[in-house]
Amino acid sequence: MGVEFIYFDFHGLGVMPRMVMAAGGIEFTDNRFSMAQWGELKKTMPLGQVPLLKTDGLDINQSNAIINWAVRNGDLPKLSCEEASKSDMVVETCREVFNGVRLPAFGAMMAIAEDKKEERAAAFRDTAKAKLTEQLPKIETILKHVGAGKESINAEKLCLGDLYLLNIGLLAYDLGLCDSVPAAAMSINKATPDKNDRVAAFFIKEKDTKYFPF
Ligand SMILES: N[C@@H](CCC(=O)N[C@@H](CS)C(=O)NCC(=O)O)C(=O)O
């Protein structure tokens, strides 16, 4: 039986599992659904949440658990202990930045009545923009600290940290903040898709996918 990934038809918490599976050469059925379909689907989910990855032996909830599964089962280049730690530091920093954007943005949106859809969307995006601007210097600092190269964290070896930087690039693009992304992160963002056919194919396939539903 093949692997099936279940998530909304936008990036959100689904983009990293999808990107890591694509970069690692894992074939999967990308089962996407709309917000309108979620009510019924939620009842069938083990934690009432998505993303979910259905594998042969186990249904895996929690996006980071799915990403870890994808790294273990894909064929990203093997890293030395030092290279892996550099990647891990960038991964954790990008997660911190991402959570520092999405959690306050959802909070700002939830503070507005449900029927005020446009106001809710504006509150989400305005807060997300402000928070990303505030958080981006952390990326520059960690890239300097690990001595990242111009095109990847570890020379010639695509790693999870590089893929997380691409995710921050996608987020910044969606929020109209590309110019604020530290130069080092943007050069990785630009270079990696050209140098890796799978990542390039992923970006082409996803070119019309929105980051958030708002
Ligand atoms: N810690 C979980 C969080 C999952 C989560 O919050 N999923 C949201 C979508 S991004 C969800 O399922 N929301 C719908 C709901 O809770 O009804 C993870 O990383 O997978």
Per-residue pLDDT reduced to its tens digit, 17-52: 999 999 999 999 999 999 999 999 999 999 999 999
pLDDT band at 210; cut points 50, 70, 90: very high
Mean pLDDT over all residues of the chain?
Answer: 93
Asked whether residue 195 carries a pLDDT value surpassing 90, the answer given is no
CB 177 within 8 A of CB 106: no
Looking at residue 117, its pLDDT comes to 95
Residue of the CA atom closest to atom 12 of ligand 1:
49
- Greater confidence (190 vs 103) lies with 103
- Alpha carbon distances (Å) from 113 to 110, 117, 127, 151: 7, 8, 17, 45
Matching CATH number, 3-73, of 3.40.30.10, 3.40.50.720, 3.40.50.11540, 1.10.10.60: 3.40.30.10
Q: Residue 70, by phi and psi: left (phi above 0), alpha (psi -120 to 50) or beta?
A: alpha
Question: For a pLDDT cut of 90, what percent of the chain falls above it?
Answer: 84
Looking at residue 178, its pLDDT comes to 86
Q: Which residue matches tokens 């106001």? A: 119
Per-residue pLDDT reduced to its tens digit, 81-131: 999 999 999 999 999 999 999 999 999 999 999 999 999 999 999 999 999
Mutation probe of ligand 1 site: the residue of 43, 49, 124 with most atoms within 8 A of C-beta: 49
Asked whether residue 144 carries a pLDDT value surpassing 80, the answer given is yes
> Does ligand 1 come within 6 angstroms of the Cβ of 189?
no
Contact residues for 34 (Cβ-Cβ < 8 A; gap 6+): 8, 9
The CATH code of domain 81-195 reads 1.20.1050
| The Cα angle at residue 124 between residues 118 and 126, in degrees rounded to 5 | 100
Domain map (residue ranges) of the chain: 3-73, 81-195
What single-letter DSSP state applies at residue 141?
Answer: H
| The Cα angle at residue 3 between residues 50 and 21, in degrees rounded to 5 | 80
> Does ligand 1 come within 6 angstroms of the Cβ of 17?
no
- Greater confidence (137 vs 191) lies with 137
Looking at residue 196, its pLDDT comes to 85
Q: Which residue matches tokens 């990855």? A: 53
Mean pLDDT of 164-169: 94
| CA 67 to ligand 1 centroid distance, Å | 15
Q: In the chain, where does DSSP find H-type helix? A: 15-23, 35-42, 63-73, 81-110, 117-135, 137-146, 160-174, 183-195, 197-205
pLDDT band at 185; cut points 50, 70, 90: confident
